Amino acid sequence: MFSLLLGVLYILAPTVWGDISQRASLANNLASNGTGTPYSMNVTDCPGYTLGLLQESDTGLTAHLTLAGPACNAFGLDISDLIIEVTYQSQSTLHVKVYDTANQQFTIPESVIERPAAPTTSYAGNSDLIFNYDTTPFAFWITRRSDPGAMPLFDTRTSSLPPTPIPPFNASDASTAFDGFPLVFEDQYLQIASALPYGTNIYGLGEVIASSGFRRDIGTDGGVGTIQTHWARDVADPIDQNMYGSHPIYVEHRYNATTGKASASGVLLLSSAGSDIFLQTPPNSKVSLIEYRMVGGILDFYFFSGPSDAEVIAQYGSVIGYPMWQPAWGFGFHLCRWGYHNVSDDIENVAQMRAAGIPLEVQWNDIDLYHAYRDFTTDPVSFPGDELRSFIRELAANNQHYIPIVDVGIAVTVNSTDVYDPYTRGVEEDVWIKNPDGSPYLGQVWPGYTVYPDWFSENILSVWTEGLRNWTEMGVEFSGLWLDMNEPSSFCSDSCGTGANYSALAPLSVAGTVVPGYPECYNETIWGPTGNMTINGTSTNSCAAGSTTSTVVEKRGVGAGGEQGVNLNTPPYAIHNAIGSLNRNTLATNATHFGGYAELDVHNMFGFMEEKTTHLAVQSIIPGKRPFLISRSTFPSAGKWTGHWLGDNYSKWQYLYLNIQGVLQFQIYQIPMVGADTCGFNGNTDEELCNRWMQLSAFVPFYRNHNTYAALPQEPYRWDSVANASRIAIAARYAMLPYWYTLFANSSMAGLPPVRALFYEFPDEPELFTVDRQWLVGSDVLVTPVLAPGATTVDGIFPGRGSVIWRDWYTHAAVNATAGGNTTLDAPISHINVHIRDNSALLLHQEPGYTIYETREGPYSLLVSLNAAGTAFGTAYVDDGISFPPGPSRSLTFQAAGGTLVIESNGEYAISQKLETITVLGVQKPTQVSFQGSSADNWTYEEATEELVVSNASVDLNGQFTLTWK
């Protein structure tokens, strides 16, 4: 949040960029390892390593790697002695770890991310993945036992990679050259590369908003390739730049055009080091490649064999941890507004939502909640504690919920009379990050000078819990928490408050801010600041059909400037951090953590470690209930502790589309509870954009409307058409809650992604590999949103190439779809196209209510969509929706074949609600319908949709049930 406003709030420190030749000259002349020996800044002469002292075991092998020649010292000091450990973790997961013998390089502690235990069963002989190696120079490649003749999944042999040197693919950036592909392992630089099939399909490697879409640009088909930088930063949703989170995991979907079959695999580099990951296909090369360049750490790879995309994602989850259990209420509609309001305004908003009949589950508050922007406080004028407590309790009485924001920077007291217990307690317990000399590290955020929690500190959990608990006692009785600014963000560079006059820096202010601009095609100079679709009966759409503009954001720059020496703040290899040097707008990389860890090594984990600490704190404050957290900066394993929103997006049609790839990415990252700020955050929205966005977001996991300070209000009741669209979409969402809930239970228990790209379910259809304007909820619900202004139709592809029957969610009519190509669908305003796949059975809530609680208290219905063979299958997971850890549950199975539907039920949880309506689609007109062996007369049949409806069934879902039709 807030990134767009920073330019008006403070002046960024100057950065010397220089041209490439100047940078190279400075680097060669001035970079030093401290002994006077310059680094070569080139890997051409790096000798690689030789493998020796090999020891094999039932679970893998261990060997030593020794530098194979004179040290090249390319961007640091070569480490001459390494150890490689190869572990067959399971039949589908292979672990390859290369680290320095002295154990001096940073390794992510097991206490931070728990890894799988050593296998007790030998998988070396039956794993689908095989580790192969050459001894001199050392290289390794990973093959499939099930497909030994295929190109390796990962291959570091120089002979498999394109010949070098390869000139820069970006002529203005010398660092985009490939001088050679040796294994390089130095104290400040690691490099390893692998060949990939030419033009293969790569997904992941985020967090990023990629101009190429969900499928990453690998340098073929007219693409320029990708440099994905991993360095967490606070920035308003840029395109093709590093941003809030770091996830060095990719899924490769490999298609064999000869056989017409595809398989998936995955690769994780579990490292928090700042890094560049290159995806490229050099000119005239027969292969593509991926290269990792890291400024520290070790090589800690996990390889996943799939062979399906969903299985790869699940196998990744088994390594870093499956996602947290979500409370059922978290799937409701959330509402937040920043600025120009108080607790009375929130009360009025809640009343307006109810008057408009738009369900509201959770009310949020942004930093205007705070007193002087300080965490764990409330503003005594706008949000007095007693009034806020009354409001929150009124929400709770109506089965609604409340979530406040928590910024990560903690204000320092400005003088001896300033009383601020969270800061003071942290000083007493020694939990703040320090400068190298032991003094407190002081950055600058909204309250002024701030300290930052050291998540490695032994006392941080107790201090953080105390702050949150005290907040609840002041009236902020939260149901969940929103973690922001945790890259971590600072409005200055370095420890800017060290030695400063604290009282001279007042909290920042955005008072008087005016937010300019509206979405494309809306001209406020003509139509005024209403955002309405029509004014006096005239459309405000000023764009010709198909002429929508895009928000153009420059691709990343060269990165940090020339390096004048070696230290933690300026590593010799400058990763392509889009804002420049690594300390810009965040902690300096020499900031020191408990245990002696440097920020350079742990920076990318900061947000994740806050999420883990906060989750544990909330568990103790609200015992017995599942925590609900949404956070901005994330890292592998974050999904165990939090969900994520997609950051400070823009009220633009382009960002309506771009949020789809964000949702798909985070399913890979095992953070499935994800969504964008609906209707856009930065800038002003308008009626049409908000209408379409409220529909789209109803079919992604996290559903929140939130906008920036001083922007046009965008609560969905503000426009009649948006209110109507919201009611329709939320009714569908709440009806589908048992389906959503089951998908998330499968995610928490087995790591399976709730939201899926179309090719996950239809892997052998290449026309789907780039589709990111549609998505599947689970395997059975296809969503095709409108993404352009003025549209009354939308084109969408129906997977299956004609072998699958897709039926309309609203009408139940089968679609006459074009096999393998787009089908044009009607999409009037307030309508989003949703279709149900055949061979499916969805347990639904029959009567969507105003809240999730009311909805869950009502009866169930069952929607069965038969395929051409007359079969269908589905499951449902049911529990109380709130207990932590999950208590008793019940699993339901629905299976239809040969004119019979069988419901089976197992588990200890007692379902009190009855199944009242059963709808079966694809049935020829029956002459007799029976359930539990007795003839039924409470049924109807609709010829046009081949629809059998059994009503007033009152089925007890705790037992077995059979329905037949003849």
CA 323, CA 332: separation in Å to the nearest integer?
19
Tell me: pLDDT of 15 over 50.
no
The full DSSP string for 770-825 is T--S-EEETTTEEEE---STT-SEEEEE-TTTTSS-EEETTT-PBP-PPTTSEEEE
Q: What mean pLDDT is predicted for residues 98-115?
A: 96
Let me know: does 398 contact 359? Beta carbons within 8 Å: no
Instruction: Identify the pLDDT of residue 51.
Output: 98
Q: 212 is written with which tokens? A: 């190429």
Angle between helices 421-429 and 460-473 (to 10 degrees): 160
Instruction: Identify the pLDDT of residue 513.
Output: 73
Q: Over the stretch 379-410, which tens digit does the pLDDT of each residue have? A: 999 999 999 999 999 999 999 999 999 999 99
Instruction: Identify the pLDDT of residue 542.
Output: 86
Q: 692 is written with which tokens? A: 């379409």
The CATH class, in words, for 49-320 is mainly beta
Catalytic site residue from 487, 599, 761, 765: 487
Q: What mean pLDDT is predicted for residues 316-332?
A: 98
List the 915-921 sheet strands across, edge first.
Answer: 934-935, 929-931, 961-965, 900-907, 890-897, 872-878, 840-845, 860-865, 915-921, 947-950, 939-942
CA 649, CA 696: separation in Å to the nearest integer?
15
The percent of residues in the chain predicted with pLDDT above 70, rounded, is: 93
Q: Over the stretch 141-187, which tens digit does the pLDDT of each residue have? A: 999 999 999 999 999 999 999 999 999 999 999 999 999 999 999 99
3-state secondary structure (DSSP) of residue 747: helix
CA 474, CA 476: separation in Å to the nearest integer?
6
* Cis-peptide, bond into residue 857, ω within 30° of zero: no
Q: 548 is written with which tokens? A: 């929508």
Q: Give the least confident one: 91-105, 496-510, 598-612, 710-724.
A: 496-510
Q: Over the stretch 34-83, which tens digit does the pLDDT of each residue have? A: 445 589 999 999 999 999 999 999 999 999 999 999 999 999 999 999 99
Give the domain 328-512+568-742 fold. TIM Barrel (3.20.20)
Q: Measuring CA to CA, how many Å separate 764 from each of 480, 567, 770, 780?
A: 42, 50, 13, 18
Tell me: pLDDT of 556 over 80.
no
Q: 281 is written with which tokens? A: 């296909």
Instruction: Identify the pLDDT of residue 37.
Output: 54
Q: Over the stretch 807-847, which tens digit does the pLDDT of each residue have? A: 999 999 999 999 999 999 999 999 999 999 999 999 999 99
Q: Over the stretch 594-640, which tens digit does the pLDDT of each residue have? A: 999 999 999 999 999 999 999 999 999 999 999 999 999 999 999 99
Report strand pairing: 629-631 vs 481-484: parallel
Q: Quick one: how many helices (H) and strands (E) in the chain?
A: 16, 48
- Amino acid letter, 705: N
Q: What mean pLDDT is predicted for residues 411-438?
A: 95
CA 580, CA 559: separation in Å to the nearest integer?
5
Q: What mean pLDDT is predicted for residues 412-433?
A: 95
Let me know: does 198 contact 287? Beta carbons within 8 Å: yes
Long-range contacts of 117-123 (CB under 8 A, 24+ apart): 118/59, 118/87, 119/59, 119/87, 119/88, 119/89, 119/90, 122/58, 122/59, 122/88, 123/59, 123/88, 123/89, 123/90, 123/91
Question: 549 falls in which pLDDT band (50, 70, 90)?
Answer: very low
Q: Residue 549, by phi and psi: left (phi above 0), alpha (psi -120 to 50) or beta?
A: beta
Let me know: does 253 contact 214? Beta carbons within 8 Å: no
Q: Over the stretch 182-204, which tens digit does the pLDDT of each residue have? A: 999 999 999 999 999 999 999 99
Let me know: does 249 contact 266? Beta carbons within 8 Å: yes
Instruction: Identify the pLDDT of residue 634.
Output: 98
Tell me: pLDDT of 274 over 50.
yes
Same-fold call for 328-512+568-742 versus 743-965:
no
Report strand pairing: 939-942 vs 947-950: antiparallel
Angle between helices 687-697 and 720-735 (to 10 degrees): 0
Handedness of CA 630, 631, 635, 637 (dihedral sign): negative
DSSP structural state of residue 2: -
- Amino acid letter, 775: W
Catalytic site residue from 648, 772, 780, 946: 648
Whether 937 is catalytic: no
Beta-bridge mates of residue 875? 893
CA 54, CA 103: separation in Å to the nearest integer?
19
196 phi/psi in degrees, rounded to 5: -130, 155
CA 36, CA 24: separation in Å to the nearest integer?
18
Tell me: pLDDT of 256 over 60.
yes
Instruction: Identify the pLDDT of residue 38.
Output: 80
Q: Over the stretch 743-787, which tens digit does the pLDDT of each residue have? A: 999 999 999 999 999 999 999 999 999 999 999 999 999 999 999
CA 34, CA 217: separation in Å to the nearest integer?
39
- Amino acid letter, 443: G
More confident residue, 744 or 545: 744
Q: Over the stretch 900-931, which tens digit does the pLDDT of each residue have? A: 999 999 999 999 999 999 999 999 999 999 99
Let me know: does 454 contact 438? Beta carbons within 8 Å: no
Catalytic site residue from 217, 361, 407, 484: 484
Whether 484 is catalytic: yes
Question: 545 falls in which pLDDT band (50, 70, 90)?
Answer: low
How many beta carbons lie within 10 A of that of residue 344, not counting itself?
A: 12
The percent of residues in the chain predicted with pLDDT above 90, rounded, is: 87
3-state secondary structure (DSSP) of residue 350: helix
Report strand pairing: 247-256 vs 275-280: unpaired
Give the domain 743-965 fold. Immunoglobulin-like (2.60.40)
Q: In 3D, which of 80, 36, 68 has the Cα closest to residue 187?
A: 80
Q: Exposed, middle or buried, 816 (CB in 10 Å: 0-12/13-18/19+)?
A: exposed
Tell me: pLDDT of 562 over 50.
no
Residues 6+ apart with CB under 8 A from 927: 966
Q: Over the stretch 937-957, which tens digit does the pLDDT of each residue have? A: 999 999 999 999 999 999 999
Q: Which helix (H) or strand (E) holds 834?
A: strand 833-837
Instruction: Identify the pLDDT of residue 33.
Output: 45
pLDDT, mean over the chain:
92
Whether 857 is catalytic: no
pTM for the model: 0.94
Q: 426 is written with which tokens? A: 């942290």
Report strand pairing: 287-294 vs 299-304: unpaired
Tell me: pLDDT of 7 over 70.
no
Instruction: Identify the pLDDT of residue 36.
Output: 52
Q: In 3D, which of 736, 879, 667, 867 has the Cα closest to residue 207?
A: 667
Q: What mean pLDDT is predicted for residues 224-241?
A: 97
| For the chain, domain boundaries | 49-320, 328-512+568-742, 743-965
